[in-house]
C-alpha cells in the first residue's frame, strides 16, 4: 500500500466504538502515550497548543463513574431521574480500558475560543486515527455533565472539559460509515 492508501484506509475505517463492545483488556501505558503523542502534531494557530488531557485508568475509572453518577443525581430534576441512566456511567467507565478527559486551555488574550476548539478537535482526530491503527476502539462522549467536572479533573483557570474519550480493545466487525455523499457538501469555483 502507498501512503495515500494507508491513510485513507485508516480514516475510512475509524468508527465510534462504544464501551459495551470493549474487551476486558488493559491498554499498556506506553501504548496510551503513543496514542496521545499524535495529538501534539495537530495544527495550532499562534502555537498555543491548547489541547490538554487527563488520562483516567485503573481505580480512577470507578471514581469518574461515581462522580458522573453523583453529578447526574444533583443536576437532573428529581422527576426525570432514572436509576438506569445513573448506573450507566459507572458501567461505561468500568468497561473502558482508559478514558481521556479532553480539555482545552484557552488563551483569550491571543485567540478566539473557536480556533482553540478547532485545534483541539484536530488533536482528538489524530488520537482517534492512531488508536484505530493500533486496533483500539474509541468514541468522543459529550454529556452535559462534563461542565461539572472541573474540580474532579483539577482544571486550571481558562481550562474547560469538552468531552470524555473512551477507549478499549474490541472485536467489532468493521462498519460502513453512515454519511451522505460528499459531492453534496462541495461547491467548486473555477
Ligand X SMILES: Cc1cc2nc3c(=O)[nH]c(=O)nc-3n(C[C@H](O)[C@H](O)[C@H](O)COP(=O)(O)O)c2cc1C
Report the residue count for the chain. Answer: 190
**Of the residues 112, 142, 158, 172, which one makes contact with ligand X according to CB under 6 A:** 142
Is residue 16 within the footprint of ligand X (CB under 6 A)?
yes
Cell of 13: 475505517
H or E element, residue 71: helix 59-75
Is residue 15 within the footprint of ligand X (CB under 6 A)?
yes
**Nearest distance from residue 26's CB to ligand X, in Å?**
24
Three-state secondary structure of 174-190: CCCCCCCCHHHHCCCCC
Binding string, residues 154-183; x marks residues near ligand X by CB under 6 A: ---------x-------------x------
Tell how strand 98-105 and strand 51-56 pair up. Answer: antiparallel
Is residue 9 within the footprint of ligand X (CB under 6 A)?
no
Cell of 104: 482545552
Identity of the residue, 60 or 118, whose beta carbon is nearer to ligand X in the bound complex = 118
**Nearest distance from residue 163's CB to ligand X, in Å?**
6
DSSP result, 88-110: HHHHHHHH-SEEEEEEEE--TTT
Is residue 141 within the footprint of ligand X (CB under 6 A)?
yes
**Of the residues 72, 106, 139, 152, which one makes contact with ligand X according to CB under 6 A:** 139
**Nearest distance from residue 141's CB to ligand X, in Å?**
5
State the chain's maximal CA–CA distance in angstroms. Answer: 58
**Nearest distance from residue 190's CB to ligand X, in Å?**
31
Amino acid at each position: 500500500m502507498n501512503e495515500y492508501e494507508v491513510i485513507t484506509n485508516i480514516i475510512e475505517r475509524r468508527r465510534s466504538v462504544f464501551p459495551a463492545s470493549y474487551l476486558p483488556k488493559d491498554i499498556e501505558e506506553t501504548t496510551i502515550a503513543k496514542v496521545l503523542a499524535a495529538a501534539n502534531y495537530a495544527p495550532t494557530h499562534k502555537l498555543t497548543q491548547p489541547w490538554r488531557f487527563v488520562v483516567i485508568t485503573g481505580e480512577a475509572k470507578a471514581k469518574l463513574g461515581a462522580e458522573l453518577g453523583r453529578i447526574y443525581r444533583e443536576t437532573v430534576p428529581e422527576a426525570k431521574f432514572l436509576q438506569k441512566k445513573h448506573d450507566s456511567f459507572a458501567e461505561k467507565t468500568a468497561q473502558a480500558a482508559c478514558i481521556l478527559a479532553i480539555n482545552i486551555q484557552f488563551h483569550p488574550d491571543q485567540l478566539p475560543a473557536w480556533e482553540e476548539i478547532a485545534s483541539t478537535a484536530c488533536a482528538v482526530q489524530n488520537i482517534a486515527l492512531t488508536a484505530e491503527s493500533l486496533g483500539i476502539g474509541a468514541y468522543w462522549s459529550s454529556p452535559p455533565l462534563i461542565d461539572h467536572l472541573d474540580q474532579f479533573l483539577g482544571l486550571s483557570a481558562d481550562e474547560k472539559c469538552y468531552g470524555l474519550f473512551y477507549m478499549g480493545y474490541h472485536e467489532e466487525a468493521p462498519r460502513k460509515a453512515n454519511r451522505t455523499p460528499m459531492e453534496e457538501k462541495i461547491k467548486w469555483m473555477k
